[in-house]
Every structure is written in structure tokens, then in C-alpha cells.
Amino acid sequence: MTRHVLILGGTTEARALAATLAADRALRVTSSLAGRVAEPRLPAGEVRIGGFGGPDALRCWLADHAVDALVDATHPFAATISAHAARAAAAAGVPLLAVRRPGWVAAPGDRWHPADSLAGAAALLPGLGRRIFLTTGRTGLEAFAATTGLWFLIRSVDAPRPPLPEPSHVLLARGPFTVEGEAELLRRHRVDVLVTKDSGGPATAAKLTAAREAGVPVVVVRRPPVPGGVPVVATPDEAAAWLRAAPARLDP
């Protein structure tokens, strides 16, 4: 009998998992995207796009579409959908796994300053520099809007919505990025502080190498925790192995 797997996606890992599972004829795979990006990279298999409408609606979706297993392969900072997935899976009796790529680890020469939130990152900036490279994505930028005396280079895939910190320059770009390219950006814009989420993974890690080589301090926003009780793996291969051995759907 075919088992239906729902992957909550929007990440490289989610696409890789969908590609791996697409070849498995015992599985029907649906990937779910939030619909934030104008031209998303589509995964293999079936795709649905847009929010579910909260945890209860997600629970109904799982039941209505006879989902046998749920994989939360969303970005480490997409905490709302991860919390909804945990609630909905528990209520629907559907086994849930989270895929989280490992966070970045500081190397010798790095000047990292941890922050617990974007607001915490903004509070650190005046003590570190004046020309700030913000790579935290297009949402949450209001946390930096009240700062004064700083200039921002804001990079995101799609245009960020106001309120933005001012003065600023917006650069629309999608990774992966190279160390040479990132070093050139730091030089051209005379960046003296980099701000990043601890997203992990290779696609956007080049900025950290470039910052280390240029002696630029980096404010690293820590990840929110994975909801309690949800098993976590680091790679799509581990997720595929879990799915093949996944327990059957439980009675809610």
C-alpha cells in the first residue's frame, strides 16, 4: 500500500528529501511551500503552496489527505510552522520528524557575537560598527528600524517590506554565494559588521569566511528550539531512513 508523506519545505534539505523519495514507488510525496518566494525552486513530486490556516487546519489537512508521516524540513528559523506541525501531528496521530541542518561553528579568527533575537542583534550593533551587512532575510527587519547613525546593506531573495532601517541599500540575490563574491561585497560597501541568522549549511556560509578573512565581526542570531518531543535528524538521507522505518499512524 502506498504511504503518503507530507514534507513541510522551503529549504535545500526538503528538496533533496523529495528528490530521494520520488523514486520510491511505495511512497506518495507531497511538498508544502509557504508561498513567500515569487519564483520558488520546486521540489520533485506533488507540491501545494500557501499556509494551511493554523494548526487545526493543518490537522484537518493531514486527515483529509490521509497523510501517514509528516516531515518538518522547514528553515531552522521558521518556528511558527514547526510549532503548528508538532501540534497538528500530535492531534492527528501522525508520526513527525524534524530535519535540521547543523548550525555553523566558529573557526579560529572568527569574531562572533551571539544574539538571541533580531532585536538583540540590533542592540549590539552600535558597539561594533557603522556599516552593517544584514543577511537575516526580508522579514523582521523592523527590529533594526529604530537604530540611528548606522548604514545598512540589506540582502534578500525578494524585496523586503517597510519599515526598513534607514539609510539602507537593498540587494536582491539568492545563494549560493562564493567567498570571492562576498569578500568583494564587504570591500565595495566598506562593511564593518555582518549580521546573520545561524542558518547553517554551505549555500550561505561563504559570508562567514569572507568576514573572518577581512576581520569583520559577525552578529550571529541563535536558533529557536525545535518543539519538545519531536525527533530531529540532520540530513535528508537520515530522514529517508526514518521514513522507511516510520511507525504507522496512531489513533489520535
Q: Enumerate binding residues for ligand NAP (CB under 6 A).
A: 8-11, 32-34, 36, 51-54, 58, 74-75, 77-81, 84, 137, 139, 197
Smallest distance, ligand NAP to C-beta of residue 114, A: 17
Smallest distance, ligand NAP to C-beta of residue 130, A: 25
**Rounded Cα gap, residues 37 and 57, in angstroms:** 22
Q: Please give the grid coordinates belonging to residue 220.
A: 550571529
Smallest distance, ligand NAP to C-beta of residue 80, A: 3
Residue 198 burial by CB count (10 A; 0-12/13-18/19+): exposed, middle or buried? Answer: middle
Q: What is the DSSP letter of 204?
A: T
Q: Given the complex with ligand NAP, which of 77 and 144 has the nearer CB atom?
A: 77
Tell me which residue has its CB nearest to ligand NAP. 51
Q: Given the complex with ligand NAP, which of 84 and 249 has the nearer CB atom?
A: 84
Q: Characterize 72-85 residue by residue with b for buried, 16 or more Cβ atoms within 10 angstroms of its Cβ, and e for exposed.
A: bbbbbbbeebbbbb
Q: What are phi and psi of 167, to 5 degrees?
A: -75, 150
Smallest distance, ligand NAP to C-beta of residue 89, A: 13
Smallest distance, ligand NAP to C-beta of residue 187, A: 26
Q: Given the complex with ligand NAP, which of 26 and 159 has the nearer CB atom?
A: 159
Q: Given the complex with ligand NAP, which of 54 and 231 has the nearer CB atom?
A: 54
Q: Given the complex with ligand NAP, which of 9 and 129 has the nearer CB atom?
A: 9
Smallest distance, ligand NAP to C-beta of residue 83, A: 8
Residue 161 burial by CB count (10 A; 0-12/13-18/19+): exposed, middle or buried? Answer: exposed
Smallest distance, ligand NAP to C-beta of residue 16, A: 13
Q: Please give the grid coordinates belonging to residue 82.
A: 514547526
Q: Given the complex with ligand NAP, which of 71 and 125 has the nearer CB atom?
A: 71
Question: Computed from CA positions of residues 233, 237, 241, 243, in that sequence, does the dihedral angle turn out positive or negative?
Answer: positive
Q: Given the complex with ligand NAP, which of 121 and 183 has the nearer CB atom?
A: 121
